[in-house]
Structure 1
Amino acid sequence: MNNTRDIRVVVAIDFGTTFSGFAYSNKINPETITNDTVMVRKLKYRFFLRIITFRLFLLNMIFNNRPEQTGVFKTNTVLAYDDNLQLVAWGYPALAQEPPKKKKLQTKPRKPVELFKLHLANVKDDDKPPLPPGLDPRKAITDYLHEMNKLVSETLNSRWPGIRYPQQVRFVLSVPSEWHHDAKAIMRECMFNAGYLENRQSENLEFTTEPEAAAVYCMKSLTEHHLSAGSSFMIVDCGGGTVDLTTRTLLPGMKLSEITERSGDLCGSSYVDREFLRFLGRKLGYAAMKKLKENHYGQMQYLVQQFCSRVKFSFNGNPNEFSTKELDIERVCPALMEYVTGHAKEQMEEADWLIELDFLNVKEMFDPVVNKIIDLITKQLASTERRCSAMFLVGGFSESQYLQQQIRRQFMNQVPIIAVPKHPIAAIERGALEYGLNMEIVQTRVLKFCYGVEVSAKWEKGDPPERRTPSGRIFKFHRLALRGVEVAVDQKFYYTAGPVVPNQTDMTFNIFITPDNNAKYCDEDGMKMLGKMKIDLPDPQRGKNRLVEFTLTFGTMEVKATAINKRTGQIYESSFILEF
């Protein structure tokens, strides 16, 4: 185990679907440097800027008509590979560039890879973004984190040359609320392979959910709105891929408790881009768009960039302020022209390959995504009887004026304050950093699953006959902690067990989670094994009189299983990633 008492620096990593960044601070002097302090650094890619929160030049281009965004940057969660799947670029330089105007200038296209974080989400394979043949999503994630690790290491070593990296660094990784423990286990493995951890089980890595990190960040904004201890507030984290929600109550001493289950779905800003591509499919033919995606993914990506910078980011839902936009397919995506056939080709040739995007077209791209977010908020508000005093919108998509307008229109009579805090794009990494510096800031969480163990009970009349074992017993799910229960950090749940047969020499606790509080058996739908723990049972001559006290303790981000032999006092412990 690592000596976590020797942690000198905390680094918070926001590995996002479309943009990523990090923040850092020294524990001795935990200052927060504002985004007004920007230091240009010429690394391998000249586009990168280093500030206390890692940003990128691209967003300055995107929001160049909004001066308040100056200095707020992240780098794109994008990779580019050659034909041998060797990484050639990451971040903004990996994005597809404008197609060359002269054929002689054309070079062999690289293989840009984006949205690969979605491969860890619980979505159908058909809905997952494409990866080059032979590229595993774990390799893509590791490659990206590895390149970021180079920058993190160089940044910290330039600031504090005496720091032993990574031994004296605590990393806090924020993840979507709907991720299961297997996705978090993959991220731990990727962090290790990328060089952040000395071993796979390193205690230098902590997890927090993206909405929880955002809640910690927004907590400081409560006093600006004259909210005090006892006030409840909701965080709506609108990212590129996911939208996550959590409702918290401010406790005395600037602590937080959770009062509802976290919720979320895949309805971030990238799904507006998907609606744009579907619009093109209806206009140019789905077969043409499919071939473009398969053969010229880089040009399709550049086409989406053009839509975002010229249309998506400035759309505010006011038809009086919207002017119809034109996209020149021949200039921004010439490869698409060779795949368009039939009547669609005739229409496009007549229109000089110009596609018009009017107000209704764009609104129809936003509305399915925005309506899904509104539905999530509605359900989150309905999940508690406590009054929600404020709602904070964070994440890159929260900058959308249309999204803000629709949320305010829908909920202004239920929630008195609906606000976007300063630097909403930085909310996650800054909040994760605050959490890493003071992990006691979160006092309670609401369990998203029911936790329990598999037990061997005596079969009784009324039990399913087909489940009766030859020895007259039945395996059942024994509930320990129920879904929806608010638990304090380090709260314990107990269960006492004993040997089934007198000469038993060991015992195994199979720990399961399920979304169903009424589950009876461990093979039901939705049931997942969290882990198992095997212990010794000495002194078989004592028969069944050898009791073991089994305990689940819910820590900050892990659940610890403990088994104590009540006769000998021998203790067994094992930790599993908490399904938070």
Structure 2
Amino acid sequence: MALNVGTDKKAKLLVAAIDFGTTYSGYAFSFKHEYQADPAKVSVNGTWFAGSMALVSMKAPTVVLFNEKKEFQSFGYEAENEYSELALDHEHEKYYFFKRFKMYLHDKKIVRQLEVQDDRGRKLPGMKVFAAVINFLMNHLLTALKKRGTLVDIKDIHWVLTVPAIWVDSAKQFMRESAGEAKIDGKNLSISLEPEAASLYCQLIPTDKINGSEGCQFQVASPGSKYMVIDLGGGTADITVHERQADGGLRELHKATGGAWGGTKVDEEFYQLIIKIIGAPAFQKFCRDHTSDYLDLQRELEVKKRIITPKTKGKVTLKVPVSLGETYKTEMEESVEDALKESPLNGKISWLPDKLRIDAEVFKGLFKMCSEKIVEHILSLLKFPEIKDTKNFLMVGGFSESEMMQDAIMKALPNRNVIIPDEAGLTVLKGAVIFGHRPVAITSRCSRYTYGINISPPFDPALHSADRKVNVGNMERCRDVFKKYIQEGDVVQVGEPRSGKHITLAPHQREMQLNIYASPKREPTYVDEDDSEYLGRVIVELPDSDERIRVEVTMVFGETELTVQAQELTTLKKFSSFFDFL
């Protein structure tokens, strides 16, 4: 998969961004002339309606339905509704229903053949599922533009796809290739890091469009200001620290960090609460045999998550399907009410046939695990010298709209400015459009890893372990030494090249392969150390030659994706080369 980094993207008529989230996804766009007149003017697709219950959003659930032939059927609320209807007719078992599958890419090692599981444990190729969502959103945008009388050829669109900053390079490439499967030309595609996109948009927000700590002064847009971006999504918390430059650009002061502490953790805590009462077997049987009711329970929980606040008192009432209690009674031959009498939750939860009444403090406790993890992580970052005097904290992402999360972070940062823009869940999406118009707005980044390749230098007993000695061409060499191209924590200017010279092992060698490794250490010695990871390879295609060819390989860091160039040093001819992290 060649990385096409074309300069013609800047000349496109339209920038369209797809925010592919764990729980919700959507798209936004703006024309070049609109951006030039008002950079903050970004169009977001209207509203997506759930079709049942009081749930409306500017983004749609990231769920996708495939039919029994493994063909794309529907996406979003439509997929949920269709699958729910199929379940009522007991036809759903023939279909494939995928949700929250983005978290598969949160794992460290991603392969091109990655498979994802549907809600019944059956698998399809991950790239097929990801591509289906991207393709749907792409076509939805094109149809929306057509309806308003604006005909734009897909070739005239610069597409931007968002990814978490904490993702590894193989996950970013997986998304890029998925977009390719969805018929988006790689030359017209950019990858935007989610917290950076949000940061760009927040530079443009007027002061009357923010909320935050009492007495908070909106200083994010001031040159020289330093601030932490806390991007809380459905799956992950993604945290970076930026400094605003005099030219309007952003400098990253610390490498992106975070973890799987998104809003879905609250869902998991809720279902564990249910399991404490009725047990895992009964809950699993309910999910399996009453799929439509389970989807309704999920939507009910989503509504309650949004409206709960630290000030909520008394009881929180959720509608629960009657089938949940009936399933337990059939399995255990006793009522849920009887089960509650034996539970430590007795008195804190009451179960009616179609309602669950939970003590407000118990329900608020569902947020405790992820809020504590996020706060603990933020406080640990503030111990670093380059961050400790940070006064401004920008909360973005859908989960940042939760007053429970806002309260937890404000209490942890009592003498600092915690800023929450209006519609925090749309800041990544709108910022990705800004990034498409102005990708050089991020001027430098901090490397999350030490990147390098494996080499075999002449063996030096003072430097190298004896068990690594090998004989190559009658010369003693040391195998698998880590040759650094960039070190962990280094500040790298966007587009900054790092070069290394290499020579082919033999004449007539038509290809040079350089294996790429990453290590969290600043000074790794060998590529096969426990905490070093093989990322992929750089392939350099070479001409046929009677001589061994010397090649200078230049890796370009600082971009959202690593790129590579290669040049043969005798004729100075450049050759195609690319990263393959999958």
Could you tell me the TM-score, scaled by structure 2's length? 0.83
Aligned residue for 1:425, secondary structure, equals helix
Name the CA shift for 1:230/1:573 in 2 (closer, same or farther; >3 Å): farther
Structure 1 contact 113–131 (Cα < 8 Å) conserved: no
Query: Do the aligned partners of residues 466 and 98 (structure 1) sit closer, same or farther apart at CA in structure 2, a change above 3 Å counting?
Result: closer
Q: CA deviation digits over 1:383-439, x for unaligned, max 9?
A: 3434213111111111111111111011122xx210111221110111010010011
Q: Distance in 1 between matches of 2:84 and 2:581?
A: 47
Taking the aligned partners of 1:98 and 1:360, their CA distance within structure 2 comes to 34
Equivalent residue for 1:381?
Answer: 382
Q: Aligned equivalents of 1:465 and 1:373: distance in 2?
A: 45
Q: 2:487 — aligned with what?
A: 482
In 2 relative to 1, CA 384–16 (structure 1 residues): closer, same or farther, beyond 3 Å? Answer: farther
Of the three residues 91, 95, 105, the one matched with 1:120 is 105
For 1:418, the equivalent position in structure 2 comes to: 418
Structure 2 unaligned segments of length 5 or more: list them: 208-216, 342-350
- Look up the match of 1:137: 126
Match of 1:440 in 2: 440
Q: 1:314 is matched by which residue type in structure 2?
A: I
Give the SS at the match of 1:268.
Answer: coil
Letter in 1 for 2:359: D
Deviation, 1:289, is 1.5
Take 2:308 and 2:448, find their aligned partners in 1: how far apart are those partners? 36
- Note the alpha carbon deviations across 1:164-200, whole angstroms, 9 max, x for none: 2x21111111101222222222212221222323xxx
- Pick which of 473-482 and 492-501 moved more: 492-501
Match of residue 409, structure 1, among 408, 411, 436: 411
Could you tell me which residue of structure 2 aligns to residue 40 of structure 1? none
Residue in structure 1 matching 2:200, options 216, 219, 242:
216
Q: Which of 148, 154, 158 is the matching residue for 2:143?
A: 154
Q: Which residue of 1 aligns with 2:49?
A: 57
Deviation at 1:368, TM superposition (A): 0.6
User: Distance in 2 between the 1:408 and 1:20 partners?
Assistant: 28
Structure 1 residues 477 and 298: alpha-carbon distance in aligned structure 2, compared to 1, 3 A threshold:
farther
- Determine if contact 1:303/1:332 at 8 Å carries over to the other structure: no
C-alpha deviation, 1:244, in angstroms: 0.8
1:532 counterpart (526, 538, 549):
538
Q: Deviations over 1:217-238 (max 9, x none)?
A: 1122487724521110111111
Structure 1 equivalent of residue 188 of structure 2:
204
- Counterpart of 2:470 in structure 1 is 469
Structure 1, unmatched stretches of 5+, are 38-50, 65-71
Listed one character per residue, the Cα deviations across residues 114-172 of structure 1 (whole Å, up to 9, x for unaligned) are 112112221899998745524333322222222222211112344564522x2111111
Pairs within 5 Å for 1:292-311: 292-309=286-303, 311=304
Deviation at 1:247, TM superposition (A): 0.6
Distance 1:384 1:167, change over 3 A: farther
Bigger shift: residues 148-157 or 329-338? 329-338
Give the secondary structure class of the aligned counterpart of 1:170: strand
SS in 2 for 1:95: helix
Partner of 2:555: 552
| Aligned mates of 2:115, 2:544 — CA distance in 1 | 52
Structure 2 counterpart of 1:305, which letter?
A: R
Secondary structure of residue in 2 paired with 1:487: strand
Question: Superposition RMSD on alpha carbons, in Å?
Answer: 3.5
Equivalent pair of 2:172/2:561 in contact (CA under 8 Å): no
Q: After superposition, give the CA deviation of every residue in 1:6-58 in whole Å (9 maximum; x if it has no partner).
A: 521110110111111111111133266989x9xxxxxxxxxxxxx53454235
Q: What SS does structure 1 have at the residue aligned with 2:409?
A: helix
User: Is the Cα contact below 8 Å between 1:291 and 1:339 reproduced in 2?
Assistant: no
Q: Which residue of 1 aligns with 2:25?
A: 20
2:300 touches 2:319 (CA, 8 Å); kept in 1?
Answer: no
Q: 2 CA distance for matches of 1:328 and 1:430? A: 34
- Cα distance in structure 2, aligned partners of 1:327 and 1:91: 23
**CA 1:420–1:4 in 2, change beyond 3 Å: closer, same or farther?**
closer
- Name the counterpart of 1:322: 313
Distance 1:284 1:34, change over 3 A: farther
The answer as to 2:291 corresponding to 1:289 is no
Match of 2:61 in 1: 76
Report the alpha carbon displacement of residue 106 of structure 1 after superposing the two structures with TM.
4.1
Which amino acid in structure 1 is aligned with residue 563 of structure 2? K
Structure-2 residue corresponding to 1:48: none
Residue deviations 1:435-461 (CA, integer Å, cap 9, x gap): 100112111111111111221211121
Q: Pick closer, same or farther for the CA change 1:469–1:21 going to 2, 3 Å.
A: same
In structure 2, what residue type is equivalent to 1:173? L
Task: Give the distance between the partners of 2:83 and 2:67, measured in 1 at CA.
Answer: 18
Q: Does 1:358 align with 2:359?
A: yes
Counterpart amino acid of residue 108 in structure 1: H
- Compared with structure 1, are the counterparts of its residues 54 and 332 closer, same or farther at alpha carbon in structure 2 (3 Å cutoff)? farther
Local SS of the residue matching 1:443 = strand
Match of 1:108 among 85, 90, 99: 90
Please state how far the C-alpha of 1:256 moved relative to its aligned partner. Answer: 0.6
Shift of 1:305: 1.8
Answer yes or no: is the 8 Å Cα contact 1:14–1:174 preserved in 2.
Answer: yes
Indicate the residue corresponding to 2:370 in structure 1.
369
Deviation, 1:381, is: 2.4
Q: Is the CA contact (8 Å cut-off) linking 2:234 and 2:264 kept in structure 1? A: yes
Give the letter aligned to residue 269 of structure 1: G
Asked if the contact 2:230/2:396 (under 8 Å) is kept, the reply is yes
Tell me the equivalent position of 1:67.
none
* Counterparts in 2 of 1:346 and 1:98: CA distance versus 1, 3 Å: farther
558-567 or 349-358, which deviates more: 349-358
Q: Is the 8 A contact 1:213 1:430 kept in 2?
A: yes
* Partner Cα distance (2:118, 2:516) in 1: 33
Equivalent residue number for residue 44 of structure 1: none
Equivalent position of 1:399 in the other structure: 401
Shift of residue 495, structure 1, vs aligned partner = 2.3
Q: Contact between 1:53 and 1:426, CA under 8 Å: does it hold in 2?
A: no
Cα deviation for residue 282 of structure 1 reads 0.3
Shifted more, 178-187 versus 291-300: the winner is: 291-300
- In the alignment, which residue of structure 1 is the partner of 2:167? 179
Percent identity, aligned pairs only, is: 24
Which of 170, 175, 195 lines up with 2:158 in the alignment? 170
Conserved 8 A contact 2:232-2:400: yes
Q: Deviations over 1:257-293 (max 9, x none)?
A: 1010111211111110110000000011112122233
Cα deviation code 1:481-521 (max 9, x no counterpart): 10111111121223234456799887543332222222222
